[in-house]
Amino acid sequence: MYHFLTGPALWIVFAVFIGGLMTRLAFLIGLSRERDRVFYNHADLTWGFKSIFYWIIPWGSDAMRRQPVFAFMVFLLHIALLAVPLFLNAHNLLWHEAFGISLPSLPDTVADGLTVALIGAGIFLLVRRIVRPEVRILTSTWDYTLLILTLLPFVTGLCAYHQWGDYPTMLLLHILSGQVLLILIPFTKLGHMLLFFFTRAFIGFEMGGRRKARSW
């Protein structure tokens, strides 16, 4: 099972992940050109880049400054969500075996700390969705499920690394949950990992290029 998941299944997963994101992006761009041509009439790259920039730096927007703890947890989760899978030493070995590439590696203690921080931030966001009425009313069962599925590869990876529980089982669950998450990304809200940049740019076009007002 391990050799299948890290061999043929891995190629299939990456094909679905990359192909799905590209297809969804192409579809949405085509749809926007058909239905929202007005955006392109006042597209301004300066305002678009500003809109993106101020939303990817901590507390760069007014909305984030109004909820500093929430903003911190969101940034912490996203930073760890990118850094750990890409720069974990054990993952780099797999990158090299599968694709012949190798990225810089984080020290294991740093990756371990980031994983714990990510799980803590995820639990915070989960509890926030439950206890804050204005957030709970907008949250569906699928939203809770997606958040749990996002945390699952990191929880199982932490257990496997520290050999908490049965190591072979935890390792397989870690690989399988990670691959399920990659497959889901193009077809769910998790696709915002790519679509965020286009959404923020379009908002920058509308608010800045048309109304000369900040969107952050």
Q: What is the mean pLDDT of residues 98-115?
A: 88
Domain ranges for the chain: 2-210
80: pLDDT strictly greater than 90: yes
Task: Please determine, for residue 207, whether its predicted confidence score (pLDDT) is greater than 80.
Answer: no
| 44 has pLDDT over 80 | no
Residue 167: band (very low, low, confident or very high) from pLDDT cuts 50, 70, 90? very high
Tally Cβ neighbours within 10 Å of residue 165: 12
> Which residues have CB under 8 Å from 142's CB, separation 6+?
188
Average per-residue pLDDT in the chain?
A: 88
The model's confidence at residue 145, banded by pLDDT at 50, 70 and 90, is very high
What is the reported pLDDT for 193? Answer: 87
pTM as predicted: 0.87
In percent, the amount of the chain with pLDDT more than 70 equals 98
Least confident of 78-82, 170-174, 196-200, 204-208: 204-208
Return the pLDDT at 209. 67
Averaged pLDDT for residues 119-139: 94
CATH, range 2-210: 1.20.950
